[in-house]
Amino acid sequence: MMADADSFLTLLVDRIPEARPFVEEKYELGAGEAPPEKDTDTDLYANLLDLFTRAVLQPALAEERLDEDLLRRCFDLVEEMYETPGIFVQGAVYWQVLEYLLESPGYLATAIPFLKGESRDGVSSMLKDYAVKGYEHGLPPLSG
């Protein structure tokens, strides 16, 4: 589980190496250099959006041939973060990742099979609250 908001960058490059070039560029790191682990908590919202959602997740959701391993790792990270105690991290995930699934009907449709647990419940509530056409009752329960 993610310890705190400052550990996000380390967790991101560990779980989603595809995000490393974006982290290295933003923080002007050398290849393979460890990302900062302190004083980045205030950047969590921006980092989630810019270094994860827009840089990795949305492009992966838009691919014609899905990289299911990448998507599984992305949504495992999302779920782990969403389960982190405290409203700051949960809110960041809700607003900077889950809400951005609604930017395109294709993003949402592709993401649904990978959503589970609390993040799935969050998306389901969001769909009901926003009365998204076709999802007015939220997501169907997971089978199995």
Taking only the tens place, the pLDDT of each residue in 64-79 is 999 999 999 999 999 9
User: Is 123 part of a structural domain of the chain?
Assistant: no
Q: What is the pLDDT of residues 44-99, one digit of tens each?
A: 999 999 999 999 999 999 999 999 999 999 999 999 999 888 899 999 999 999 99
CB neighbours of 53 closer than 8 A, spacing ≥ 6?
A: 96, 97, 100
> Which pTM does this prediction carry?
0.93
User: Is 69 part of a structural domain of the chain?
Assistant: yes
User: Is 137 part of a structural domain of the chain?
Assistant: no
Tell me: pLDDT of 12 over 90: yes
Cα 78-79-80 angle, rounded to 5 deg:
95
DSSP 24-67: HHHTTPPTTPPPP-SS-GGGHHHHIIIIIIIIIIHHHHH-SS--
Give exposure, 69-107, as e/b (b: 16+ Cβ within 10 Å): ebbebbbbbbbbbbebeeeebbebbbebbbbbbeeeeeb
User: Is 94 part of a structural domain of the chain?
Assistant: yes
Query: Quick one: pLDDT at residue 144?
Result: 60
Number of domains in the chain: 1
User: Band of the pLDDT at 43, cuts 50, 70, 90?
Assistant: very high
User: Is 60 part of a structural domain of the chain?
Assistant: yes
Q: How far from each other are the two terminal CA atoms of the chain, in whole angstroms? A: 25
User: Is 104 part of a structural domain of the chain?
Assistant: yes
* Contact predicate 115/109, CB 8 Å: no
2 or 53, higher pLDDT: 53
User: Is 84 part of a structural domain of the chain?
Assistant: yes
User: Band of the pLDDT at 10, cuts 50, 70, 90?
Assistant: very high
User: Is 113 part of a structural domain of the chain?
Assistant: yes
Domain span holding position 12: 5-118
